Amino acid sequence: MSFIWIILLFFVLIPIGQAVAHYITSKADEKQLPQGASPDELRALEGQVRYLAERVEELTENQDFLTKLLEARPASGETAQIEDTRR
């Protein structure tokens, strides 16, 4: 009985899976950028991508800075102990 399952797997299921994968990749190739994109449009797109990359880099730097500030800040329990000793 297991021999039948092996034959079914190798000769039926795997080729069907390969056909589905080929169909999906061929559809993805059709959805690429149109061939008639002008150089001006591509330059504008490149500028927008660079702008977004700079903003993401700034956000990352700000997040790192805030993380360092929060790590250096004493915990709220420690602050309460310091205030109690001053009185």
| SS3 track for the chain | CHHHHHHHHHHHHHHHHHHHHHHHHHHHHHCCCCCCCCHHHHHHHHHHHHHHHHHHHHHHHHHHHHHHHHHHCCCHHHHHHHHHHHC
CA distances from 33 to 24, 47, 56 (A): 17, 17, 25
Share of the chain above pLDDT 70, in %: 75
Tens-place pLDDT, residues 13-42? 888 888 888 888 887 666 665 677 788 888
pTM for the complete prediction? Answer: 0.43
